[in-house]
Structure 1
Amino acid sequence: MAGKTEAPARAFYDVVIVGGAIMGASTAWFLSENKDFNGKVLVVERDTTYEYCSTAHTNSCMRQQFSAELNVRISQFAAEFVKNLRSYMGGDARVPDLSIRSFGYMYLADSESFADVLRQNQKVQLAAGAATQLMGPEQIKAAYPFYNVDDIVLGSINLVDEGYWDGATVFDWWRRQSRERGIEYVENEVVAINRNAAGTLVESVTLKSGEVIACGQLVNASGPRAAATARMAGIDVPVEPRKRYSWVFKADKPLDRDLPLTIDPSGIHVRESGGGTYQCGGHSDIDPAVAYDDFTMDYAFWENHVWPILASRIPQFEAIKVQSEWAGHYAMNTFDHNAIIGPHPELSNFIFQNGFSGHGLQQSPAMGRGTAEWLTYGEYRALDLSPFKYERILANRPIIERAVI
Structure 2
Amino acid sequence: MGRLAKTPKRDSYDVVIVGGAMLGASVAWFLAANPDFDGRVLVVERDPSYSACSTAHTNSCLRQQFSAPINVEISRFAADYVRRFRDEMGDARVPGIDTQYFGYLYLAGDEATASRLRANAAMQAGLGAGTRILTPDEIAAAWPFYDLDGVVLGSHNPVDEGYFDGGTMFDWWRRLAAERGVEFIHGEVVGIDTVRDRVTAVRLASGETVSCGWVVNAAGPRAAGVAAMAGLSLPVEPRKRYTWVVRAAAPLDRDLPLTVDPTGVHFRSDGACYMIGATPEDDPAVAPDDFAFDHGLWERKVWPAVAQRIPQFESLKVVNEWVGHYAYNTLDRNAVVGPDDRIGNFLFVNGFSGHGLQQAPAMGRGIAEWITTGGYRTLDLTPLHVDRIRAGRPLGEAAII
Q: TM-score range by the shorter chain?
A: over 0.9
Q: Which residue of 2 aligns with 1:218?
A: 215
Residue type of the alignment partner of 2:88: Y
Q: 1:167: which partner in 2? A: 166
- The offset of 1:200, in angstroms, is 1.3
Cα distance between partner residues in 2 of 1:158 and 1:248: 23
Can you list the C-alpha shifts for 1:259-315, whole angstroms capped at 9, x where unaligned? 00110001001111011x011111123110001100011000001110011111111
**Offset, 1:102:** 0.9
The letter of the residue matching 2:337 is I
- CA displacement at 1:395 relative to structure 2: 1.7
Q: Provide the rounded CA distance (Å) in 1 between the counterparts of 2:151 and 2:373.
A: 49
Q: Which amino acid aligns with 2:62?
A: M
* Whole-angstrom CA distance in 2 between matches of 1:84 and 1:403: 27
The answer to whether the 8 Å contact 2:334/2:352 transfers is: yes
What secondary structure is seen at the aligned counterpart in 2 of 1:254? coil
Alpha-carbon distance between aligned partners in 2 of 1:353 and 1:97, rounded to the nearest angstrom:
26
Q: Partner residue of 2:352?
A: 356
Q: 1:264 aligns with which of 261, 266, 269?
A: 261
User: Quick check: 1:302 aligned with 2:298?
Assistant: yes
| Correspondence list, 1:228-239, <5 A | 228-239=225-236
* Structure 1 position 331, deviation (Å): 0.3
The residue number in structure 2 matching 1:25 is: 25
Tell me the alpha carbon deviations over residues 352-380 of structure 1, each in whole angstroms, 9 at most, x when there is no partner. 11110000000000011001100111100
Show the counterpart of 1:145: 144
State the 4+ residue runs in structure 1 displaced beyond 2 angstroms. Answer: none
How far residue 208 of structure 1 moved from its aligned partner, in angstroms, is 0.8
Distance in 2 of aligned mates of 1:123 and 1:394? 31
1:174 and 1:14 mapped to 2: Cα distance?
A: 19
Quote the Cα distance in structure 1 between the aligned partners of 2:267 and 2:251: 14
Q: Distance in 1 between matches of 2:98 and 2:205?
A: 40
Correspondent of 1:382 among 378, 381, 388? 378
Q: 1:158 corresponds to which residue?
A: 157
Aligned twin of 1:96: 95
Alignment match, 1:49: 49
The corresponding residue for 1:70 is 70
Deviation at 1:99, TM superposition (A): 4.3
Is the 8 Å Cα contact of residues 103 and 159 (structure 1) preserved in structure 2? yes
Per the TM alignment, residue 64 of structure 1 is displaced from its structure 2 partner at its CA by 0.3
Distance in 1 between the 2:139 and 2:44 partners?
Answer: 48
Q: Which stretch has the larger CA shift, 184-193 or 387-396? A: 387-396
Aligned to 2:86: 86
C-alpha distance in structure 1 between counterparts of 2:331 and 2:9, whole Å: 39
Q: What SS does the aligned partner of 2:82 have?
A: helix
The 8 Å contact of residues 219 and 350 in structure 2, kept in 1 or not, is answered as yes
Alpha-carbon contact 1:4-1:188 (below 8 Å) kept: no
Quote the offset at 1:41 in angstroms: 0.1
* CA–CA distance in structure 1, aligned partners of residues 96 and 70 of structure 2: 27
Alpha-carbon distance between aligned partners in 2 of 1:192 and 1:395, rounded to the nearest angstrom: 27
Q: Distance in 1 between matches of 2:360 and 2:35?
A: 20
Over residues 212-231 of structure 1, what are the superposed CA-to-partner deviations in whole Å (9 max), with x where a residue is unaligned?
Answer: 00000000000010101001
Give 1:4 shift.
Answer: 9.0
Is contact 1:79–1:100 with CA below 8 Å preserved after alignment? no
Is the contact between residue 83 and residue 99 of structure 1 (CA under 8 Å) also seen in structure 2? no
C-alpha distance in structure 2 between counterparts of 1:189 and 1:203, whole Å: 17
- Which residue is 1:330 aligned to? 326
Aligned to 1:230, the other structure's residue is in SS state: helix
Q: Tell me which residue corresponds to 2:199.
A: 202
What secondary structure, in the 3-state scheme, does the structure 1 residue paired with 2:140 have? helix
Structure 2: which amino acid aligns with 1:373? Answer: E
* 1:5 shift after superposition: 6.7
Deviation at 1:98, TM superposition (A): 2.1
Q: Does 1:191 align with 2:187?
A: no
Asked if the contact 1:224/1:330 (under 8 Å) is kept, the reply is yes
* Residues 326, 353 of structure 2: 8 Å contact kept: yes
Query: Are the equivalent residues in 1 in contact too, given 2:4–2:185 (CA < 8 A)?
Result: no
Q: Which residue of 2 aligns with 1:347?
A: 343
Aligned pair count? 399
**Structure 2 Cα separation of the partners of residues 343 and 329 of structure 1:** 25
Amino acid in the other structure paired with 2:23: M
> Shift of residue 100 of structure 1?
2.7
Amino acid at match of 1:242: R
| Structure 1 unaligned spans of 5+ | none
Distance 1:181 1:285 in 2: 46
> 2:100 is paired with a residue of what secondary structure?
coil
% identical equivalent positions: 58
Check whether the contact 2:4–2:48 (CA below 8 A) recurs between aligned residues: no
Deviation at 1:238, TM superposition (A): 0.5
Distance 2:14 2:103 in 1: 41
